[in-house]
Structure 1
Amino acid sequence: MQIDFVVNGDPVGQGRPRFARQGKFVHTYDPPKSRQYKAKIAQSFQQAYIGKPLTKPVKISIKAVFGVPKSYSKSRTEACLKGLEWPTKKPDTDNIEKGVYDALNGLAYEDDKQIVMTNTVKVYGPEARVEITIEELE
């Protein structure tokens, strides 16, 4: 089984956890930007797939497409869109992956320990988005 879906908008990486003291206890929570992006990923996934979480090992492919900065010259923009220049900017690929894995935990698969193979790439494109493919392995 293969599930493909797209999350429109700029890719957002998983932010560092935040801490708040409540009396004698310390409470850990996601930064608001990360929490909102995870909800957006979950919503996009639920529009593409209705069913129970996968139970077998899975492979996840992530293509983070960044919009070309408006400040780039016409020739540099064309080079970016042809794949001659790579987006070496934040967020890092590992932070993009972590946000996607956490957002899909319990929805696409029972637990993210089922992820046995990954492939993540950052590229430039005409519109910012994240393309995600989840494949159930035999």
Structure 2
Amino acid sequence: MLKLTIPVEPMWAVRMTGRGKYIKPNAQRYLAYKDQIKGLAKQQLKDRKLLTGALEVGILFTMPILKSWSNVKKQQAVGEYHTKKPDTDNLVKGVFDSLNKLVWQDDNQVAKVIAVKSYGEVTGMEIVIKELE
């Protein structure tokens, strides 16, 4: 089992055209986000070999609490499910793309995914990767 802690605010995957990734600000932000995940994961992986078999990946996305909410509402939100945009599948895509060729050969090895979005005071991601038999 491998556990990664990524203290970066989760971001959804952005659609990019070949040219768009060089000129669109959202695309630039997304590419920087993926690089940040890669860098933080590399520090935690050290010289670990790539996983080659079927995998199970669990990701807990801790989403930011809106600053405009009252203090009472903020306290009540901690640990509650996040049911707004961005969509969970778009968050997962960004993480999987970042971990390709770093943790596993390709994200098509992931046979089982468990993803949860919840509110928290500190944003980030907890990623647990298990090899399946």
Q: How high is the TM-score relative to the length of structure 1?
A: 0.84
User: Which residue in the other structure is 1:118 paired with?
Assistant: 113
| RMSD of equivalent CA atoms | 1.6
Give distance in 2, aligned partners of 1:55 and 1:82: 34
User: Which residue in the other structure is 1:132 paired with?
Assistant: 127
Give distance in 2, aligned partners of 1:29 and 1:57: 31
State the Cα distance separating 1:117 from its structure 2 match.
Answer: 0.3
Name the larger-Rg structure.
1
What amino acid sits opposite 1:97 in the alignment? V
Give distance in 1, aligned partners of 2:29 and 2:74: 28
Which structure 2 residues correspond to residues 65-84 of structure 1 after superposition, within 5 A? 65-83=62-80
String of CA shifts for 1:93-125, please: whole Å, max 9, x gaps.
111111111111111111111000001111011
What amino acid sits opposite 2:9 in the alignment? D
Give distance in 2, aligned partners of 1:98 and 1:64: 12
User: Which residue in the other structure is 2:14 paired with?
Assistant: 15
Q: Please point out which of 101, 107, 111 is paired with 2:102.
A: 107
**Between Structure 1 and Structure 2, how many residues are aligned?**
128
Which structure 2 residues correspond to residues 34-49 of structure 1 after superposition, within 5 A? 34-49=30-45
Which structure's residues are more often helix, by fraction?
2
String of CA shifts for 1:18-76, please: whole Å, max 9, x gaps.
342xxxxxxx7481111111111111211111222101111111111012112111221
Give distance in 1, aligned partners of 2:54 and 2:21: 28
Q: How high is the TM-score relative to the length of structure 2?
A: 0.87
Structure 1 consecutive aligned stretches of length 4 or more whose deviation exceeds 3 Å: none
Whether 1:91 and 2:86 are equivalent positions in the alignment is yes
Identity across the alignment (%): 32
Contact 1:3 / 1:48 at 8 angstroms: preserved in 2? no
User: Which residue in the other structure is 1:60 paired with?
Assistant: 57
Structure 2 unaligned blocks of 5 or more: none
